[in-house]
Amino acid sequence: MISNKSVLGWLGGLAVMASVQAAEPPAQPLYSGNIPGAIVAPDEETPRDPKAPWFLENTSRPTITAYRPAKQDRKRAAVVILPGGGYRGTSVLKEGYDVARAFNDMGVTAFVVKYRTPSDKHMKDKRTGPLQDAQQAIATVRRDAQKWQIDPKRIGVMGFSAGGHLAATTGTLFSNPVLPQWKSADVRPDFLMLIYPVITFTESTVHRGSRQQLLGATPSQDDMKRFSAELAVTGETPPTFLIHAADDQTVPVENSILFFQALQAHKIPAQLMIYPAGGHGYGLNNPTTGDRWIDRCRQWLQSQGWIS
């Protein structure tokens, strides 16, 4: 039996979510037609916690939400944001909407992607479903660059945690797009920004939850290697900015270090910042320091010439 207290909590959570959504630009379907590789299934998207309903699970209908700055930077850069959630869901507020507004403050147009949760219920191949959504977002933003008044050669991708893994794979697995309508030039990011990212699926520092969600309980060696971003870095991987905390017990800092080392080996411009503490999943605000990593990110973007 469901208690009145539970029902009230659920209804209260819905009210909070409706209020949050009302304050944001409208989300649009990521695909104009059929969702590639989809299995027809009911929409079972739900908040993980009704009292904090901005972490969404069981997503089968991906969306993209555009955030336009009040005053655009003259270099007209854009960023596609992939929130984290262990491939179980997406933290759309703390690692999505809030971050988009921070980029707007820089004069950068931002796009928050609510990608599909890997699931055999609504995907023919859950290994590539999220990457399809990420590549679709990059390609459509680039295709519609004139509409958004952005430079199609200044489109970056930012990802958090498992969204960082997805972002890293957009920067390493673009040579053979997982959507046949796009070419590699359509889906390759111009720069990457990875925030406490999952990177490896082969090393002991793997985030097992993310790997299991994406590849299943008994992944093949080939799949684990294919989706270990540090093993897929080439001379064509985009310049990258990385942030991690040394005391991260969820996704060990070695993930960012592995990717940074691979970038160094291929002479790809990269900046890695490691905070002494902060743990995991803090979004824009590491509670252990007054330093704001988004300010360091802005400085990196300026130093690399992506923004003015």
**Residue 294 main-chain phi, psi, to 5 deg:** -65, -30
Domain span at residue 186? Answer: 4-303
Would you say residue 143 lies in a domain? Answer: yes
Residue 38: is its pLDDT beyond 50?
A: yes
pLDDT at res. 120: 94
Residue 19: is its pLDDT beyond 60?
A: no
**4 or 242: which leads in pLDDT:** 242
Would you say residue 177 lies in a domain? Answer: yes
Residue 274: is its pLDDT beyond 90?
A: yes
pLDDT at res. 13: 46
pLDDT at res. 10: 41
Would you say residue 187 lies in a domain? Answer: yes
Nearest partner of 99 among 248, 294, 245, judged by Cα = 294
Q: Which two three-digit tokens encode residue 67?
A: 């955030």
Q: Which two three-digit tokens encode residue 6?
A: 């539970």
Residue showing tokens 């660059």: 145
**136 or 19: which leads in pLDDT:** 136
Q: Range with the lowest mean pLDDT among 1-10, 92-101, 110-119, 279-288?
A: 1-10
What is the average pLDDT value for the chain, to the nearest integer?
93
CA distance 49 to 39: 26
**16 or 245: which leads in pLDDT:** 245
CATH code assigned at 106: 3.40.50.1820
pLDDT at res. 275: 98
pLDDT at res. 22: 53
Would you say residue 218 lies in a domain? Answer: yes
Would you say residue 86 lies in a domain? Answer: yes
Residue 156 contacts residue 193 (beta carbons within 8 Å): yes
Find the mean pLDDT for residues 193-208.
Answer: 96
Nearest partner of 259 among 280, 244, 277, judged by Cα = 244
Residue 71 contacts residue 78 (beta carbons within 8 Å): no
- Whether this prediction's pTM lies above 0.75 is answered by yes
pLDDT at res. 259: 98
- The pLDDT tens digits of the residues spanning 228-251 come to 999 999 999 999 999 999 999 999
Find the mean pLDDT for residues 200-213.
Answer: 95
Residue 7: is its pLDDT beyond 90?
A: no
Tell me the chain's radius of gyration from C-alpha atoms.
Answer: 18
Would you say residue 308 lies in a domain? Answer: no
pLDDT at res. 24: 86
Residue 174 contacts residue 98 (beta carbons within 8 Å): no
Per DSSP (E only), the strands in 70-205 are 78-82, 89-91, 109-114, 155-160, 191-195
Residue showing tokens 């390609």: 139
Q: Predicted confidence band at 21 (pLDDT cuts at 50, 70, 90)?
A: low
Per DSSP (E only), the strands in the chain are 28-29, 46-47, 55-57, 63-67, 78-82, 89-91, 109-114, 155-160, 191-195, 240-245, 270-275
Would you say residue 214 lies in a domain? Answer: yes
Nearest partner of 79 among 105, 58, 56, judged by Cα = 105
Would you say residue 284 lies in a domain? Answer: yes
Neighbours of 138 (CB within 10 A): 26
> Any idea what DSSP says for residue 229?
G
pLDDT at res. 49: 86
Sheet holding 109-114, edge to edge: 28-29, 63-67, 109-114, 78-82, 155-160, 191-195, 240-245, 270-275
Q: Is 225 exposed, middle or buried (0-12, 13-18, 19+ CB in 10 A)?
A: middle
CA distance 148 to 163: 24
Domain count, the chain: 1
Please, what is the angle between helix 129-143 and helix 162-170, to 10°? 60
pLDDT at res. 15: 47
